[in-house]
Chain A
Amino acid sequence: MSVLLEVLEELWSMFVGDRRLTLLTLAVVIAAAVVAALTTAPPIVAAGLLLAGALAVLADSVLAAARKVGRR
């Protein structure tokens, strides 16, 4: 049973290791989905939004971790 729990924990941490990164990534995907489905913008706009959002989430996450180290 403990092995199963450990496996489930590991799988969870694979995708939700950093809660802020996860929530922001999902927000970016939802924003891109809204643009793709509900606006008349060309498809490249939604795709570009997804890419720019993913890069912004990565930068936010790395800078937050760096600030944490700096405060120690």
Chain B
Amino acid sequence: MRKHFPLRGGLLQRTQAWVRAVDGVSLDVYPTETLGIVGESGCGKSTLARLLLRLIEPDAGRLTFGGEDVREASPPRMKRLRRDMQLVFQDPYASLNPRLTMEDAVAFNLLVHGTPRGEARERARALLGRVGLDPRLYGRRYAHELSGGQRQRVNIARALLLDPKLLVLDEPVSALDKSVQAQVLNLLQDLKEERALTYVFISHDLNVIEYVSSRVLVMYLGEVVEAGTAAALAQSPKHPYTQALFASAPSLDPDRRLDRPPIAGDPPNAIDPPSGCRFRTRCAFAMPRCADAPPPLRPVGTAHEVACYLYEADAAEVAGRR
């Protein structure tokens, strides 16, 4: 099986202005890998997640899953495809229907696909047990009777019920306490190995991303600024934005701590992004040419790409070797 996601999502529509939530992002997800996507709030991570699952329609771009064009899929075919790709949401409170018991909330996904109620419930209960919630205790509970971590386990169970191949995790642990985060992350890792799942893991927390991902995509204002293996990025982050992200991640090592924040201010408005490189307004190394044209994403090492003019020499060298 081959999974391939070249995606050019673009231009989320608004009546008056255009919010460029996701602009020209291309990505491939390979089977059983974990692709991490990291970036600040508002950089288009969640939009990208919804585009990947075709919960919102991109204005332009292609989306293929196992060689099949997802955007061209007929409604019945789409319904079948949805079983293979599921989403775990960020907010454990808004993502569960307050009027359904946990077993019904999970079982709903199977009912949609025509499984009889009894069987759907049975499988939902089994899955609740697998994610660490005793179905005898929690199966008949309502969402407001559960803690944030427990709700997120229910969300994971719901996403897994249809036996998906791909799981898009949109900030699955951001709303949780640190101790609970670790539990849920470990659960996700176990499930991935057990079921040979493929993850797209979205987070703003670099520590989490580094822990779970094999490859990482760094997003800034709807664009990918750097991509590479988790190890490559951690050892030598290239893009000034990636460097700033690493510098701002809390560290136990006193030598890595900074007195000043590595980048100041908020990201510019996605309705009217800066010309050229979108990061130039906050970049310490900005050059005049950064305003002219956006730097393309170019390889600077094995499985390491960066969109920055500072690395043109490196990029030329890599290109020359080929």
A and B associate in one complex? no
**Which residues of chain B have a CB within 8 Å of any CB of chain A?**
none
